[in-house]
Amino acid sequence: MRLIFLDTETTGLKAWDNHGKPFHEITELAIIVHEGGKEVYRACWKFFPRRIETATPIALEIGGYNPGVWAEEAVEVCENFIYNLCTIMDGGVIIGHNVKFDVGFLRALFHDFGIKFKFPPELDTKTLARMVWGFESLKMDSIRKNVEGMTCDGAHRALKDTEDCVFIYNQFQHMMKLAPTKLEATA
């Protein structure tokens, strides 16, 4: 089973507008694929916003959007690119921090190109982090500040955030190894 760790940076918080049409969009997407406990694929793409007029300035700032850099490095998002994403994700399990947010934006992107795809099941590293550390605040920045081995340097860039999802998943697996197999409850 392939584990698809991913994160997106976006132009805002709303993948869909009030009429069910795609609204804000992805500016950066990172994917790290693990299979059999090993990393087998890693990629990070910048997407040029096609509806920049809908963008929220603060979201662009947080996501590190820079028109000059994007003009040079952004990939052309086309049907073939989306189909490649389908191939990468198909049959895996998507893992991300507040993963429904990222998958929502991917669904909107696919909708933009009229491509139907049955998205794989999702695991949220927020849930895993709660189990591992029991923090009240499960924001990624808050976890970074409180966990040894994590840092806020380079945060809110898709690849760094994806690497941190891998870190949280590995910490969860480490905890599971140490955990007792049997828990007792009272009927």
Partner 1 sequence: MKPGDLVRNKSSESGILGLFIGMRTFVNKHPIQDHRVDYVCAEVMWADNPFGNVISTIQTNLLEVISESR
**Sites of contact with partner 1 (CB under 8 A):** 1, 37, 93, 100, 121-124, 127, 131, 172-173, 176-177, 179-187
**Choice between 137 and 173, CB closer to partner 1:** 173
Q: How far is the CB of 85 from partner 1 (least distance, A)?
A: 19
Q: How far is the CB of 84 from partner 1 (least distance, A)?
A: 23
**Choice between 49 and 120, CB closer to partner 1:** 120
Secondary structure of residue 156 in the 3-state scheme = coil
Closest CA to 78 of 53, 47, 34: 47
Q: Which two tokens stand for residue 96?
A: 């991300």
Q: HSE of 33 in the Cβ direction (CA atoms, 13 Å)?
A: 14
Q: How far is the CB of 81 from partner 1 (least distance, A)?
A: 26
Q: Is 69 left (phi over 0), alpha (psi -120 to 50) or beta?
A: alpha
**Choice between 53 and 186, CB closer to partner 1:** 186
